[in-house]
A and B are shown apart, each in its own frame.
Chain A
Amino acid sequence: MTRISSLRAQAIFMSPATMIGVAIVLPPLLYVLFTSVNGSALSLDAFGAVLTSALFRQTLARTLYVAGLSSILSLLLGFIVALHLARQPPRRRAFLMVLVLLPFWTSILVKAFAFTIILGRNGIINNVLSWILQTKIELPLVLNLFGLLVGMTNFLVPLIVLPVLASLLAIDGAIYRAAAIMGAKPARIFWTVTLPMSLPGLFAGLLSTFVMCLGAFVIPALLGGPHDEMLSNLVDFYNRQILDWPKASAISVILFAMAIVFATPLAVWRRRKV
């Protein structure tokens, strides 16, 4: 494949990264697995205890629910943005892309903080509503499921826009012209061409945001209520408060397994595309 494939060159180029892989990347993952089975005792007690605990089950159900709901919401919003971007001339699109990428690059803590200011009891929205209605309004918009979903959606939309936009732009323009020549009305073209042909991108976006959500930590901790903890927060709880590392590890292994299950179709699909 190349002309400089000497082993010496390969050793020079690949060694540092390989060493990091062997010394830093692999051990932590193996350590979680090792700790979850109680080390060399190889017992599944931690898994048994976790799987039968009501706290874990509730948290798991909530994690799946929140992840599902926020990825569907983000998909909806992200699709609208991607459609809008796809219709812009390239120059304007590049400018609008910056508006999508800036939030993507912004610290998640900044966003969480901003939403406490916007949605809090004395936050911007409540103040504006109070001013309009001329009475004191204190809607509970944060530290509950609503605040959590707002924060998650805000975080995920940029992650949806990128793959969906790519799949929209990959549609051959001739197909639209053909549909139009055959007399299809705009709405029909949308339903029979644009939407079906962007489905792979939508599907990829949905799965990857769902996997992202499964491991959410900061947003549920800061914008969710005391009952909105997700699996990551439970791992932190067992690690930090209870100091029960086998349980923390067992939950991590389950979380990782779920991520793999949902990410596998994505990997298969990406490979087929190449």
Chain B
Amino acid sequence: MSQTIHDPLSRRYRAMGTGLAVAIYLFLLVPIVVTFPMAFGPTNALTFPPKEYSFDLFNIFFHSPTWLASLFESLKVAVTAMTLAMLAGVPAGYWIARNDFVGKALVTGVIMSPLIVPTIVTALGLFLYFSYLGISTTTLSIVLGHLMVTLPYVVVMVVAGVNKLDRNLEFGAELMGAGPIRMFLTVVVPQLVPSLVSAALFAFLLSFDEVIISWFLAGSQTITLPVKMYTALEWEVSPVIAAVATLLTMVSLVVSIVAIALRKGTPVET
């Protein structure tokens, strides 16, 4: 990924290409930028640009029991799902990257399947399964649903990270008599820290932003922020949503900036 292509283009086409590309960058970024000024607008109207600026919308959000409850529900779910996905996904990713074993294709296929299955199918399946188990509409059911979809991403990112490691350090540790667990914890994990942090952040964000699965599993007491926002958008577009959108974007921005900084140069491989 370090080289640049040398396909020459005449100046006219080059300028045209650049112009189009800039327009597309703007098209991609405009939805993110637009919500910011709206979030600081007045509480009675959604006009762009707002006539006056204030923190009123954030005030409403942070004083609304239902919005706050959904924010905390989302944080609770995302932190738990991220933790579980890391606990299961890091060792599995390491093992899958390094070993051939009986049933490897089957096990990885099952773990990775949520990447291929349309989310709506997963969501309906989780709803039916958890209803059967009697845990539908609980926080636990949402956490498990999010765990199912975050785990494959964690595994993929860990596999990519492990493949970039320098094996000599591990051979050294082994020669010095370290067992597999000890070697994994003292030699592999420290080298993997940047990959692990970005995997964890990605898992957190994936869960924090997840709509469809949460929508199928949500009960009246377990409404995550995206589900609350989805309902709000379906019924009426109230100005408070602009503040919520800005909060969601801030979370994504922080997470992605940290993750991109950690994985310098190779943000392409997700």
Contacts and interface: CB of A to CB of B under 8 A. Distances in A.
Interface of A: 1-6, 9-10, 12-14, 16-22, 24-32, 35, 77, 80-81, 83-90, 93-94, 96-103, 105-118, 122-124, 127, 154, 157-158, 162, 165-166, 168-169, 171, 173, 176-177, 180, 185-187, 189-190, 193-194, 211, 214-215, 217-218, 221-222, 231-232, 235-236, 239, 245, 248-249, 252-253, 255-256, 259-260, 263
Nearest to B22: A84
Contacts of A3: 171, 174
A112 B118 CA distance: 20
Q: Which 9 A-B pairs have the closest CB atoms?
A: A28-B125, A215-B118, A114-B31, A17-B92, A84-B21, A16-B88, A13-B95, A21-B110, A105-B256
Contacts of B230: 109, 218, 221-222
A212 to B, nearest CB: 9
Contacts of A96: 25
B5 interface: yes
B25 A13 contact: no
B48 A117 contact: yes
B29 A97 contact: no
Interface stretch (B51-59, B65-73, B247-255): B247-255
Interface in B125-167: 125-129, 132, 144, 147-148, 151, 155
A20 B151 contact: yes
Contact of A9 (B5, B18, B180): B180
B47 A90 contact: no
Interface in B159-185: 171, 174, 180-181, 183-184
B241 interface: yes
Q: Is the interface of A mostly helix, strand, loop or mixed?
A: helix
Nearest to B253: A102
Contacts, number: 311
Interface in B169-207: 171, 174, 180-181, 183-184, 205
Interface size class of chain B, counting residues whose CB lies under 8 Å from the partner chain: 35 or more
Contacts of A87: 4-5, 7, 9, 14
A107 B226 contact: yes
Contacts of B31: 103, 106, 110-111, 114-115, 118, 154
Nearest to B36: A114
Contact of B212 (A30, A118, A176, A218): A218
Interface in B243-270: 245, 248-249, 252-253, 255-256, 260, 264-265, 267-268, 270
